Amino acid sequence: MRQGPLSGLKIVEFAGIGPGPFCGMLLSDLGADVVRIDRKGASRGGAPADVTSRGRRSVALDLKNPAAVETCLKLIERADGIIEGFRPGVMERLGLGPDVALRRNPKLVYGRMTGWGQTGPWANAAGHDMNYIALTGALHAIGTDDKPTPPLNLVGDFGGGALYLAFGLLAGIIHARETGKGQVVDCAMTDGAASLMAMFYGFKASGMWQEKRRSNLLDGGAYFYDTYRCADGRWVAIGSIEPQFYALLLEKTGIQDPDFKRQMDRGAWDGLRGKLAEVIASKTRDEWEAIMGGTDVCFAPVLDLDEAPKHPHNVARQTFVEVSGVTQPAPAPRFSATPGKIQGPPPAIGAHTREALLDWGFTGPEIEALDREAAPAT
């Protein structure tokens, strides 16, 4: 029995990489029945460490076979939405484009995720997260004085891509349930990453943002919003922006230097950063956590991927869980009445072909015919 606020929702996911599987994971974690269409004969899948594949069922099909394409269309007839992350035109060439799908299911919400979008002069070009966020102004704003630095693939793939696709898909499904009309959701990572930059474009328009990296309030330019190395070589993050939080920072660190009254004087920031760095370097990270952790300083230790799951706050909230020996993030966000859960392990490719098709209303003879014509992996 699937559990979560999306229980009862049926989603067809066409297997991909990166943000596509992450979107499928988000929907599954909240209870949606996500059936993933995998390529017949592919060998990957089923490894416990394939965290973003968790919680769905795999149907393996050869989409070059007309019988397999027809099986996909029959699944689409029963689905609330689909998600796919191929380059523009690929689904159309397979006979599974939105025009065909919406004719079969007028209430369908057809989610398409690409880097550059379905239209535009770069729509068919290859790219990765770093390229997409570079085009939006986000990458230029992140990094050191010397160069922009990719912030993992959090801003484009997952933030601007997967999260916006999940948001758009669910918005479309609400509309379809109200009106009976489905639609296509064109989710470009460039659009999503640009949307994430809304506040900073507002800062620029109001004169509060300089284009030079590490010269602004939130990009490491302000000494009171930065990371500092401790005596043991580990790091802490300090974000004492507001006056009352800044005053508490000075109290907790024992700083009495009158120069620190110049908090918002940008000309003093570099000098004060050096002075604060000396103070922070006088104690270990654990010592500073004992002094400032859980206070209104706006403080946190900078934890690595081994340390984060063991921190008392994360332990208390069960932010991380262990499944089949793999530590991984628990479902988020949290719901008081309909909590989500990890619905199952990452599936082996084709592990649920018969089971999922039966659950989605296929008959035994239909599945047997597909076995004969398309011979899917089981």
| Total residue length of the chain | 378
3-state secondary structure 72-123: HHHHHHHCCEEEECCCCCHHHHCCCCHHHHHHHCCCCEEEEEECCCCCCCCC
For every residue of 265-334, DSSP letters joined together read -GGGHHHHHHHHHHHHTTS-HHHHHHHHTTSTT-EEE---TTTGGGSHHHHHHT-EEEETTEEEEPPSS-
Cα 311 from Cα 88, distance rounded (Å): 44
Cα 85 from Cα 265, distance rounded (Å): 47
Cα 169 from Cα 164, distance rounded (Å): 8
Which residues pair with residue 187 across a beta bridge?
A: 113
**Residues with catalytic annotation?**
128, 157
Q: Which two tokens stand for residue 285?
A: 């990270």
Which DSSP helix (H) or strand (E) runs through 356? helix 353-359
Three-class SS state of 14: strand
Identify whether the C-beta of residue 123 lies closer than 8 Å to the C-beta of residue 88.
yes
CA trace torsion 66, 69, 70, 73 (10° rounding) = -160
- Residue with token string 């795999």: 58
The pairing of beta strand 320-323 with beta strand 326-329: antiparallel
Identify whether the C-beta of residue 91 lies closer than 8 Å to the C-beta of residue 114.
no
Phi, psi at 343, each rounded to 5°: -80, -15
Say if residue 327 is exposed, middle or buried (CB neighbours under 10 Å; 0-12, 13-18, 19+): middle
